[in-house]
Amino acid sequence: MIRTIHRAQFVLAEADFLLQDAAVHVCDPGRISRIEPWHGKPSGQDVRVIDWGKAIIMPGLVNSHTHLELTRLAGRIRQTTSFVDWLSQIVRERREWTPEHYAESVRAGAAMALRSGSTLVADISSSGLSRQALVPERIRKAVFEEAVALAPERADESVADVERRLQEAEPDPLTTLGVSPHAPYSVSPRLYRELAALARRRGIQLTTHVAETREELEFLESGTGAFVHFLGSLGAMPAGWAPPKLDPIPYLEVLGVLQQSPILVHCNYLDAHAMAVIQRTHSSVAFCPRSHAYFGHENHPVRQCLDLGVNVALGTDSLASNTSLSMLDEMRFLSRARKDLKCEEIFRMATLNGATALNLGRVLGRVRRGYWADLTVLRLPEEAGGRNLLAQILEGAGECIATIVKGEIAWQRDEHFSSSVTAA
Ligand SMILES: [Zn+2]
């Protein structure tokens, strides 16, 4: 059995576990078999050593929320803090897209994610084309088939469409499947219930956008506001729609969606009760800091969520509301914006918490024996080191030079690193 040893000056196995001059051993079929101080190249015919030098090996970064199919919208959306204006622009832009546009966009986004250190992306597919487009990409992906329909009479057809997409999926070792009812202002109670039941039946994860804007809260409370006009303009506002008169999180609980411990995306507006419900139902929050800032939302309740023990993961959202798909950029932005978060917390949100949200926390998110060898390698500047290395990285030290998925180098910056490969 061939063993690969990745050696680097630092290995950050977990948020609070940094090794100096260490090696990560990877066995077939891509699992970590050992982490230990570097003792020099071992003897034996079946070992190859990749020495990354002045670098840090860390668990692969997990992007817990993105829409890769929107990658081609980069630079095409007029900056606005009005959420419905932004949504209207996206709807307009996409009217002319062909299936090939979607597929190209998804592949371009996957390449960007991989180049910036993400080894796993949770991707929302509204087109139904993402999963197939992503199969050749060497990044690990959780593809969530999205459904949108506020009219209850369209629920059956939407569920059938999602079921068909799930059934068409050939098993793929780097792909997991999920379902994504879009949001409480665009999904009927019936569709939410049926997709939650479908996810339970299939044992797959569910994710939904929720508590994103004040307008969403108003729409659910009183059936008024910006969403009524927006949905009306699309012909998607059902006659006789009655607001549940609930905040979004209690609403999802009543619908049975939280039994699933889903990934709740954004959660920009939560009160104490909502946070307690999220914690009690072991749901995860996918916080998208730069997208949150793009819309000028109020302070995100991430600190309170973490203090309550909620599993908070990080996502980039799409290039329609962000400037890159780099999780490192996301972590650095968050570190600058939120001095009440510890470096270790930010790191955990971008690794283990993301894996946990996707029900993969027992095999991904740490550099640990038995875990998949999904690793991100950052080259460090000469002066980097010491006890606050993670803080230095979040302040900007280090650039991604390689992304390893299931033991394979899925991307590397510079071919010269392959010349440091030495077969024993
Ligand atoms: Zn989203």
Q: pLDDT by residue (tens digit) across 343-364?
A: 999 999 999 999 999 999 999 9
> What residues contact residue 68 under an 8 Å CB cut-off, 6+ apart?
105, 106, 108, 109, 110, 113, 121, 123, 130, 134, 318, 325
Express each pLDDT in 98-118 by its tens digit. Answer: 999 999 999 999 999 999 999
Q: From the CA of 59, how far away is ligand 1's center (Å)?
A: 24
CATH topology classification for 3-59+372-423: Urease, subunit C; domain 1 (2.30.40)
Residue extent(s) of CATH 3.20.20.140 domains in the chain? 61-357
If you measure from the C-alpha of residue 142 to the centroid of ligand 1, how many angstroms do you get, rounded to a whole number?
Answer: 14
Tokens 């999780």 belong to which residue? 327
Domain with CATH 2.30.40.10 in the chain: 3-59+372-423
On the question of pLDDT at 258 being above 70, the answer is: yes
pLDDT tens digits for range 307-342: 999 999 999 999 999 999 999 999 999 999 999 999
Residue pLDDT, tens place only, 193-245 = 999 999 999 999 999 999 999 999 999 999 999 999 999 999 999 988 999 99
Average pLDDT for 140-160: 97
Q: Residue 52 carries which side chain, given as an amino acid letter?
A: W
Q: How far is the CA of 67 from the centre of ligand 1 (A)?
A: 6
Token reading at 119: 């080894």
Q: How far is the CA of 407 from the centre of ligand 1 (A)?
A: 30
Residue 285 CA to ligand 1 centre (angstroms): 12
The residue behind tokens 């630092």 is 10
Q: Which fold has domain 61-357?
A: TIM Barrel (3.20.20)
First to last CA, the chain: 13
Element of type H or E holding 49: strand 47-51
Indicate the pLDDT class of residue 386, thresholds 50, 70 and 90.
Answer: confident
CB atoms within 10 A of CB 85: 13
How far does residue 89's CA lie from ligand 1's centre (Å)? Answer: 15
* Distance from residue 66's CA to the centre of ligand 1 (Å): 6
Task: Give φ, ψ of 159 to 5 degrees.
Answer: -65, -40
pLDDT tens sequence across 265-274: 999 999 999 9
When comparing pLDDT for 285 and 387, which is higher? 285
Measure 187 CA to ligand 1 centroid, in angstroms.
Answer: 14
What integer pLDDT is reported at residue 411 of this predicted model? 97
Q: Cα–Cα distance between 417 and 25 in angstroms, integer?
A: 18
Q: What is the pLDDT of residue 423?
A: 47
Q: What is the pLDDT of residue 421?
A: 52
| CA 321 to centroid of ligand 1, rounded, Å | 9
Spacing, Cα 96 to ligand 1 middle (Å): 21
Enumerate the β-bridge partners of residue 3: 27, 47
Q: Is the model's pLDDT at 418 over the cut of 60?
A: no
